[in-house]
Amino acid sequence: MDARPRYDRATATLDPPFAVLDLDALRANAADLVRRAGGKPIRVATKSIRCRPVLERIMAMDGFRGLMAFTLPEALWLARCGFADILVAYPTADRAALATLAGDPRLAREITVTVDSAEHLDYVDDAVAAIHPRPEIRICLDIDAGYVALGGKFRAGALRSSIREPEEAADLAAEIAKRPGFRLSGLMAYEAQIAGVGDDPPGNPAMARAIRVMQRRSARELILRRGRVVNAVSRLCDLDFVNGGGTGSIERTVREKAVTEVAAGSGFFHPRLFDFYRAFTGRPAALFALPVVRRPAPDTITVLGGGYLASGPPGPSRLPQPYLPPGLRYAPDEGAGEVQTPLLGEAAEDLRVGDRVWFRHAKAGELCERFAELHLIDGDEVVGTAPTYRGEGKTFL
Ligand SMILES: Cc1ncc(COP(=O)(O)O)c(C=O)c1O
């Protein structure tokens, strides 16, 4: 069935703006992530969900193990809500949260914090100095998985850890081993240049070719280096997990023997930026509806709100996509507005004040920072409403 009449009917009694989650699409996307992971567990990236009841639904499905959180206060909250095995995948400088972690052995058992330097270890030590006795703090070492070529003149991938080579990882692992109060439990190496960069960008075949070459070379380099890093560290301690990848790289990442689990988040909602990968096709699951509030010209409508830009390098790819009805585009001088957004195109001729335009966010979880709840659509009815992080008053970032 055409999605637009279904969504319009299911939400007929709601007044936009509001956000929805299509549960059929969510389940199909989750099943496809599990298929792509080929038997390795998927750690769910909460930054790309930001809705606790939806995280609960996902964790109740087969194939998912553990959460990848984005801040320590978030992880503390999730652990208190009953979630287990939470990796905070980005270093923290939150002293109060570190003290809370070290003050509660149960939280310390469930949460792992990420470091990439002795400076991070010093910081944690300092933040928890007053706590005696202190449970061991679980540590994950972040390894740079970026791609470097031309003697360092070319680099692709996120600028994260400075730890790249096996010897560097082993040195930091040895430093962790010799400090009381820490336990090295995992490694993480996120290849953003593969997992987060679509290899099928629209209208740019030369760029597509360049991306594919870069990704092939990067994957080849990584399979060796990640394996060597894991070997070097494993000589010093028993690792519970080696995490890599993301939605865009799952089938590639799981091929590496050294990797024990993959991370994924965006693939559940399948936002706009994930339309441009050849290896998989998701179904848009998270949408938001904005009301038509005026008609400045026959082929132009104006909707309320809309300027929900995604993070990352600024540009048109970060704008929400006017999705349904198809054929609407932004006015070049205005884009997606702070309070109102004009949309042009033939499809505007059939829209009246009070009708909805359905949008997709460019990224996944950031949508939930704009809306207090997600209306859950199953088939052609709303079957429930789930508060987002924002709706629960949890604005972690
Ligand atoms: C450490 C880490 N792993 C995995 C991911 C992939 O997340 P997603 O599947 O939402 O793209 C990210 C995204 O930024 C990340 O930072």
Q: Is 266's C-beta closer than 6 angstroms to any atom of ligand 1?
A: yes
Ligand 1 touching residue 246 (CB < 6 A) = yes
Distance from Cα 214 to the centre of ligand 1, integer Å: 19
Angle at 40 between CA 37 and CA 45, to 5 degrees: 70
Q: How far is the CA of 191 from the centre of ligand 1 (A)?
A: 9
Q: Residues 33, 250: contact at Cβ < 8 Å?
A: yes
Distance 305 CA to ligand 1 centre (A): 28
Pocket test for ligand 1, best of 43, 48, 187, 188 (most atoms within 8 A of CB): 48
Query: Which residue has a Cα nearest atom 2 of ligand 1?
Result: 190
Q: Which residues does 241 contact at the CB level (< 8 Å), separation at least 6?
A: 43, 66, 87, 185, 186, 187, 260, 261
Kindly give the distance from the C-alpha atom of residue 114 to the centroid of ligand 1, in angstroms, as a whole number.
14
Residue of 143, 146, 144 whose CA lies nearest to 218: 146
Rounded to the nearest 5 percent, the helix, strand and coil shares of the chain are 35, 25, 40
Query: Hey, whose CA ends up nearest to atom 15 of ligand 1?
Result: 190
CA-263 nearest atom, ligand 1: 4
Paired tokens of 53: 């009841």
If one residue of 47, 188, 262 were mutated to test the ligand 1 pocket, choosing by the most ligand atoms within 8 A of its CB, it would be 47
Beta-bridge mates of residue 359: 288, 322
pLDDT for position 1: 53
Relative to the CA of 188, which ligand 1 atom is closest? 1
- For ligand 1, say whether the CB of 143 is within 6 Å of any of its atoms: no
For residue 24, give the H/E element and its range: helix 23-37
**2 burial type by CB count under 10 A (0-12 exposed, 13-18 middle, 19+ buried):** exposed
Question: What is the chain's alpha carbon radius of gyration, rounded to the nearest angstrom?
Answer: 22
For the Cβ of 89 lying below 6 angstroms from any atom of ligand 1, the answer is yes
* Distance in angstroms (rounded) separating the CA atoms of residues 149 and 332: 37
Indicate which residue's Cα is closest to atom 6 of ligand 1: 246
pTM of the complete model: 0.97
Reading the chain (397 residues) residue by residue, the pLDDT tens digits are: 579 999 999 999 999 999 999 999 999 999 999 999 999 999 999 999 999 999 999 999 999 999 999 999 999 999 999 999 999 999 999 999 999 999 999 999 999 999 999 999 999 999 999 999 999 999 999 999 999 999 999 999 999 999 999 999 999 999 999 999 999 999 999 999 999 999 999 999 999 999 999 999 999 999 999 999 999 999 999 999 999 999 999 999 999 999 999 999 999 999 999 999 999 999 999 999 999 999 999 999 999 999 999 999 999 999 999 999 999 999 999 999 999 999 999 999 999 999 999 999 999 999 999 999 999 999 999 999 999 999 999 999 9
The closest-lying atom of ligand 1 relative to the alpha carbon of residue 142 is 1
Number of C-beta neighbours around residue 268 at 10 A: 29
Distances, alpha carbon 172 to alpha carbons 119, 187, 188, 206, 280, in Å? 11, 12, 14, 41, 37
Question: For ligand 1, is residue 29 a contact (CB within 6 Å)?
Answer: no
Cβ of 86 below 6 Å from ligand 1? no
Question: Which ligand 1 atom is at minimum distance from the Cα of 364?
Answer: 10
Find residue 148's DSSP bridge partners: 155
Q: Which of 54, 55, 68 to mutate to test the pocket of ligand 1 (most atoms within 8 A of CB)?
A: 68
pLDDT in tens, 331-371: 999 999 999 999 999 999 999 999 999 999 999 999 999 99
- In ligand 1, which atom is closest to the CA atom of 264? 9
Query: Which pLDDT score, from 0 to 100, does residue 126 have?
Result: 97
Ligand 1 touching residue 241 (CB < 6 A)? no
pLDDT for the residue 2: 78
Taking CA atoms, 101 is separated from 35, 76, 131, 187, in Å, by 35, 7, 10, 20
Q: Which atom belonging to ligand 1 lies closest to the Cα atom of 266? A: 10
